[in-house]
Structure formats: structure tokens, C-alpha cells
Amino acid sequence: MNLDFLAVPMGKLVKLIYDMVSVADSKYLSAYAISIIISTILFKFIVLPLTLKQTKSMKKMQELNPRIKELQEKYGKDPQTLQRKQMELYKEVNYSPFSGCLPLLIQFPILISFFYVIQQPVKYVFEDQVMFDTINKAFLWISDLGFRENFIFENNVVNGLSLGGMSLPFIGAAVPILAAISGITTFLTTKMTAQPAVNEQQESTQKSMNMMMPIMIFIFGIQFPAGLGLYWVVSNIFQLVQQYIVLNSSKNPKEELK
């Protein structure tokens, strides 16, 4: 899927933000890191109406969960009747089980294209490898967001952390903090938005996915440039706050979806 038609203008906007915050560039918090953080928050606000619609749909489904459980207990041995009763329940409360899918489908290309921008900053943002190589890309303990979090430089330093003669198995000598936070926050977001399972098989599949996604994100966080990990952490934290506010609001879910 070629999303350059979205990624190119997004990259130019990130470059504009970078130019605007370049005066705030410092040893431990580079303008590049700041531009990633601001850009991530900005794009989360752009897709906010869609994610709010999706989250409110999840909340309504959670509200229906007790009644769905009752139907499952009553008609669990008759799948056709169970499905019919569930559809009658959805119709009664004016809810579509697919109402959360459309917002997700619309925002997916936008989020993926922004993922491309952060993954390939030379192509979409700076358009100059030499310039990208020379700018400051530090973020707190990470000396260069353009490299993997546990990348070992020629001077025997692990992207901001001195080896000190120590070497840890599997992840080299660096503790991939961003990658770990990415995995943890991914687990929390999926856990918070988990839908009630229709049957035991679906529940088992859902639990497996809820465990596999954070692990995959953690592995990606080790393999890809640390800038991508920073993007993922900021994005997840934003989503967690948003979901918490919506899912714990006192409004009636029927009213929220109007």
C-alpha cells in the first residue's frame, strides 16, 4: 500500500514543526525529539473525532456486556438463536456492532502513513541524509533517535549508555526502556478496549492477541529506530488518557453516540 500522498505532506508538517522548535534544541532533549512528540500529539488530535466515536462505541458495548452474558447463558447451546437474540438487543438499544469499524478503517491509513514518516525521516522529513546525520537527535538517555535503542556505536557506547565492560544477553548491553514502555502501554490500551467475547473460542483468541500485540511491539521497538519507539509511547499514552476519560465518563452511552 503506497501512502506517499499522505506521508509526504505529513513529513513537510513535521519539518515545519522541527524548524519552529529548533531554538529549543538541547543536549538531552533535541528539537528532533520535540518535533516527534508534538507531531504525534497533533496527529492524534486530527483523528480524535474518529477515535472518540470508536471509543464511545466500545463503551456502549461494555454497557451491554451483562445483557449479552445473560443471552449467552440462556442460548449458548443454540448459536443461531443466540445470534438472533443479540441482533434484537442491538436493535432495541439502537446499536450497530460495526459502528466502531468505520472510524478505525478511516484513520488507519493516516496512522500508517505517519508511521512511515517517523520510520523514514530522511525520505519524508529532511530529504537530505547529510543533514539528518548531523542534527542533534538526543532524547534523555538516548543519544540518537535515528538508531535502535540498543545500537552499539564504534566508541563502545550503547546509544547513550556506556557499556562499562558489561553485556546482557539478547538485548546486548542496553535496557530498551522505550521498547518496554511501548509494549506495556500497548497491553494497557488493548486491555482497556477489550470487547466481551461471544464464546470461549473468541475469548481465547482475544486473550492471545492481547498478549501477542505487546510482545510484537516490544520486538519492533528493539529492531526499529528509537524515534519510532518515542512516537509509539506518546501515541499510546495519549490514547490511554482519552480512553480512560471516555470509558469512565458518567454520560449515558446512548446519548454520547447521538
Question: For residue 167, what pLDDT is reported?
Answer: 42
**Quick one: average pLDDT of 142-168?**
69
Question: For residue 204, what pLDDT is reported?
Answer: 73
pLDDT range class, residue 93, cuts 50, 70, 90: confident
Distance CA 40, CA 43 (A): 5
List residues bridging with 144 in a β-sheet.
Answer: 137
Q: 133-138: long-range contacts at Cβ-Cβ below 8 A with a sequence spacing of 24 or more?
A: 135/30, 135/31, 135/32, 136/25, 136/27, 136/30, 136/31, 136/32, 137/30, 137/32, 137/33, 137/227, 138/27, 138/28, 138/29, 138/30, 138/33
Kindly tell me if the per-residue pLDDT of 147 is higher than 90: no
**Quick one: average pLDDT of 196-203?**
60
State the DSSP code for 95: -
pTM: 0.76
**Quick one: average pLDDT of 23-51?**
88
Give the 3-state secondary structure of residue 173: coil
Kindly tell me if the per-residue pLDDT of 222 is higher than 70: yes
Which residue type does 61 have?
Answer: M
Distance CA 18, CA 33 (A): 9
Distance CA 160, CA 151 (A): 9
- Give percent of the chain above pLDDT 90: 8
Question: For residue 156, what pLDDT is reported?
Answer: 65
In tens, the pLDDT along 48-89 reads: 887 777 777 777 777 777 787 787 777 767 777 877 887 887
Kindly tell me if the per-residue pLDDT of 173 is higher than 50: no
Question: For residue 18, what pLDDT is reported?
Answer: 92
Number of H helices and E strands in the chain, helices first, is 11, 2
**Quick one: average pLDDT of 173-183?**
78
- φ/ψ of 196, rounded to 5, equals -65, 135
Distance CA 241, CA 159 (A): 30
Kindly tell me if the per-residue pLDDT of 169 is higher than 50: no
Residue 68 near residue 89, CB atoms below 8 Å:
yes
Q: Rounded to the nearest 10 degrees, what angle do helices 226-247 and 200-223 cross at?
A: 140
Domains of the chain, by residue range, sit at: 12-256
Distance CA 65, CA 253 (A): 13
Distance CA 27, CA 204 (A): 47
Compare 247 and 121 and report the one with higher pLDDT: 121
Distance CA 104, CA 99 (A): 10
Question: For residue 16, what pLDDT is reported?
Answer: 93
Compare 222 and 61 and report the one with higher pLDDT: 222
C-alpha cell at 239: 490514547
Residue 137 near residue 144, CB atoms below 8 Å:
yes
Q: Rounded to the nearest 10 degrees, what angle do helices 226-247 and 177-192 cross at?
A: 30
Kindly tell me if the per-residue pLDDT of 37 is higher than 90: yes
**Quick one: average pLDDT of 108-120?**
82
Distance CA 11, CA 130 (A): 17
